[in-house]
Structure 1
C-alpha cells in the first residue's frame, strides 16, 4: 500500500462515526421542521389603530392686535417710565463758518513769463568800408543778434540787407564786438534775441 492510499484511509470515518453523523443530521432536520410548523400556525400580532383625534392640546387663538396684553406681558407704566432719570445729550455747538480765503493767482499752464529784450550797453560804431565809400553806397542794415545770458553775442545775422554786400559785412563785424544787458525773465538773466539797425550815410 502506497503512502497516499494510507493517508486517504486515515481520513475516511469509521462505521460508528458515520452513524453519529447521520443521527446529528436527522436531529437538526427534525428541529427545523418543528420550528417552521410552529411559526405557520401562529397568528400575526394585531396592529393597534391610532386615535382619530390628535394627542396634543391645540394652541389658543391669537388675540387682536389692539388688545391690551396681547403679548402676554404686562404693559409698562408710562408714569413710572417718565419718573426714571434719562441721559440727554447736550446740543453740539454749531461749527463756525470757515473764513473765506483769498484766491491765489495762478498761471495758465501754457503761459510763459515775458522776458525783456537784450539792450546794448557798449556799441562801437562800425568802420565805413573803403570800397563802399568810393561807390558812395549808403543804407541801413538790420542785424539780428542772439545774446547769451552773459550779455555776449553768440550769433549775428542779417535780418534786412542794405543792398550792399560791403555795408552788410561791416555791420556784422561791428555788432559782434558789442556788449548787451541780457534779457531778464522771472528775475533771472536768460538768453534772448534782438534786432538792431546799423545806418551808413555819407
Structure 2
C-alpha cells in the first residue's frame, strides 16, 4: 500500500478522478423522473376511477313523455339534497358516453287553441338532429296517431326547434345525435 501525501491530494490526476465520482445528477433528470411518475399516477387514477358506461347506441333514442320528464326533474333536486356532503367534495367523473339530454328550461309544446276547440286529439313524435353544441339542427315529424292535424304538428315543430340539449358524448367528446320526442295532445283531464 502506498501512502497519500498532501501533494498527491492536490495533483490534477486525483482531482479529476474525484470529480467523476461526485458529479451531481442533472436537474433535468430529476424533472423528467418527476414528470414520468406524475403521468403514471394520472394514468392509474384514470383507469381505476373510470365508470363502466355502456356505449351510446347507434341510431335514435326516445325521450320520456312530458309528464314523466316533469316527475324526473322534480325528483332530481331532492336526490341532490340527500347526497352526503363528502360526495360534493369528490371530483366529478369524466363522462365518456352519454346520450343527448334536453335542458330543463325547454318549454313544452302547447295545445293549439283551434285544435283544442275542435276537440282534435293525438300523439306526435318529432325527430331532432342535435349538433355537438346541443342545438337542434333539424326537426321533422316522423309519426302521428289520432286525428291528423297540421296544427298539432306545427305546435310541436315550432317548440322543439328552439330546444337546447346537453350534447351526446362518445369517448369523452361531444357528438351529433338524433333524438325522438313524443308529445301527447289529449282533451280529457287526468
TM-score for both structures, normalised by structure 1: 0.42
Higher CA-based Rg: 1
The structure whose RCO (Cα within 8 Å, separation 6+) is larger is 2
